[in-house]
């Protein structure tokens, strides 16, 4: 099989072709400007291939209700030109093959669950901490969605008593994303997160917030593996801090080795590195092909 994959992000579109095992054959990156500029380049790239199916993992929020007339649209983004943009429809009309469509984080969760850090397990959670915070999940071998897709970055968490930063989520101010995204770190501390590597207090506070969220996800979803990706997670010193904080928050209540002695093997880096999203999108194409969607 030859599949096409699109990881549609707010700053760039990664486009790739590959096979049903998640092997990438060719890839390009296209800047996300406005649809009239970005999409013709996306289409040009794939036009050279005879594809059997395609998969899209998109930034959101997106409409994932297959019965809706606007299924496959990007919905409420502030990004100029992309609000209500029919991303799935545009690709389907051009290529006339089955196309799988999910959030970027659900695609990454699928990639990690099939050929990454959670291979062999039938559940996992993939969290990205970058420009925004979001998570996707595979539960019982299926991608988690219902009324819409989960929005796990916008949960309420307890503010640290010493943290005076007000938060930057336009909807909720001090939700998880409002307090702990890359831009929130930069605004709170006055420097980009990547320039704060040696400031222990930055990563202690970040771990305090991320660990609270992870504890909630564990209590609600009980995933067999938690994968933490995104730009901010490149600060690897945060992993042991998160491991300790998660143990502290759960306080022995979920009494399993994964949450005690083996926590470092339970909350891990992406097995696929930065390719979780694009490889997952390729595997979305395979799902669409199997379902002839
Ligand atoms: P996006 O979320 O836009 O897809 P990223 O996951 O790379 O992209 O997230 C970008 C955010 O992550 C920015 O706020 C940036 O400051 C932060 N970031 C990127 N690289 C690093 C790094 N090495 N260390 C800390 N923060 C980083
Ligand atoms: Zn929010």
Decide if 85 contacts 102 (C-beta within 8 A): no
Give the C-alpha separation, 46 to 198, whole Å: 43
Long-range Cβ contacts of 69-74 (<8 Å, 24+ apart) = 71/101, 72/101
- Ligand 1 pocket: which of 105, 108, 130 to mutate (most atoms within 8 A of CB): 130
| Nearest bound ligand to the CA of residue 169 | 2
For residue 126, list its beta bridge partners.
136, 227
Nearest CA to ligand 1 atom 22: 194
Q: What is the per-residue pLDDT across 230-270, written as a single tens digit (0 to 9) for each? A: 999 999 999 999 999 999 999 999 999 999 999 999 999 99
Q: How many domains are there within the chain?
A: 2
Residue 180 placed within a domain: yes
pLDDT at 78: 87
Determine if ligand 1 sits within 6 Å of the CB of residue 233. Answer: no
Q: Give the bridge partners for 234, in sequence order.
A: none
Q: What is the pLDDT of residues 277-286, one digit of tens each?
A: 999 999 999 9
Smallest CA separation from ligand 1 atom 24, residue: 194
Q: Are residues 184 and 282 in the same domain?
A: no
Instruction: Verify that 90 and 137 share a domain, yes or no.
Output: no
SS3 10: coil
Helix (H, G, I), strand (E, B) or coil at 1: coil
- The answer to whether residue 226 sits within a structural domain is yes
Phi, psi of 198 (to 5 degrees): -90, 5
Q: Is 88 found in the same domain as 138?
A: no
Ligand number with the minimum distance to the CA of 174: 2
* Domain interval for residue 23: 3-104+274-290
CA-nearest residue, atom 11 of ligand 1:
130
Which residue minimizes the CA distance to atom 15 of ligand 1?
182
pTM of the predicted model as reported, rounded to 2 decimal places: 0.97
Ligand 1: which residue has its CA nearest to atom 18? Answer: 231
Domain CATH for 147: 3.30.420.40
Is residue 293's pLDDT more than 70? no
Q: What is the pLDDT of residue 268?
A: 98
Q: If you measure from the C-alpha of residue 132 to the centroid of ligand 1, how many angstroms do you get, rounded to a whole number?
A: 9
Confidence of residue 68 (pLDDT cuts 50, 70, 90): very high
Q: Say if residue 53 is in the same domain as residue 168.
A: no
144 touches 223 (CB < 8 A)? no
Q: How far apart are CA 106 and CA 84, in angstroms?
A: 20
Say what the pLDDT of residue 292 is. 81
One domain, residues 123 and 89: no
CA of 176 to the centre of ligand 2 (A): 7
Q: Is the pLDDT of residue 39 over 60?
A: yes
Q: Which of 193, 241, 280 to mutate to test the pocket of ligand 1 (most atoms within 8 A of CB)?
A: 193
Distance, CA 229 to ligand 1 centroid (Å)?
A: 10
Tell me the pLDDT tens digit for each residue of 160-209.
Answer: 999 999 999 999 999 999 999 999 999 999 999 999 999 999 999 999 99
Tally of residues, the chain:
293
For residue 61, is the peptide bond before it cis, meaning its omega torsion is within 30 degrees of 0? yes
**Cα separation, 243 vs 32, whole angstroms:** 35
Residue 87 near residue 63, CB atoms below 8 Å: no
Q: Is residue 159 part of a domain?
A: yes
Backbone angles phi, psi at 108, to 5 degrees: -65, -40
As a whole number of angstroms, the distance between CA 220 and CA 218 comes to 6
- How many CA atoms are closer than 13 Å to the CA of 139, on its beta-carbon side? 13
């Amino acid at each position: 099989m030859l599949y096409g994959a699109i990881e549609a992000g707010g700053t760039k579109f990664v486009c790739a072709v590959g096979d049903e095992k998640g092997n990438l054959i060719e890839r390009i990156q296209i800047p996300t400007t406005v649809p009239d500029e970005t999409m013709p380049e996306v289409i040009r790239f794939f036009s050279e291939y005879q594809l059997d199916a395609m998969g899209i993992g998109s930034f959101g929020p997106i409409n994932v209700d297959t019965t809706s007339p606007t299924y496959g649209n990007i919905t409420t983004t502030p990004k100029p030109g992309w609000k209500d943009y029919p991303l799935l429809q545009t690709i389907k009309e051009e290529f006339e093959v089955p196309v799988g469509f999910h959030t970027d984080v659900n695609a990454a969760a699928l990639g990690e669950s099939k050929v990454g850090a959670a291979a062999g397990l039938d559940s996992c959670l993939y969290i990205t901490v970058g420009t925004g915070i979001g998570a996707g999940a595979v539960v019982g071998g299926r991608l988690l969605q219902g009324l819409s897709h989960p929005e796990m970055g916008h949960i309420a968490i307890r503010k640290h008593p010493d943290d005076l930063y007000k938060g930057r989520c336009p909807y909720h101010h001090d939700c998880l994303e409002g307090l702990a995204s890359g831009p929130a770190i930069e605004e709170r501390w006055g420097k980009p997160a990547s320039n704060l590597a040696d400031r222990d207090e930055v990563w202690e506070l970040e771990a305090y917030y991320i660990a609270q969220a992870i504890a909630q996800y564990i209590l609600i979803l009980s995933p067999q593996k938690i994968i933490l990706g995104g730009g901010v997670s490149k600060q690897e010193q945060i992993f042991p801090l998160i491991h300790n904080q998660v143990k502290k928050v759960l306080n022995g209540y979920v009494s399993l080795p994964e949450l005690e002695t083996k926590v470092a093997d339970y909350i891990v880096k992406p097995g696929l590195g930065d390719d979780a999203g694009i490889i997952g999108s390729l595997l979305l194409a395979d799902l669409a092909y199997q379902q002839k969607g």
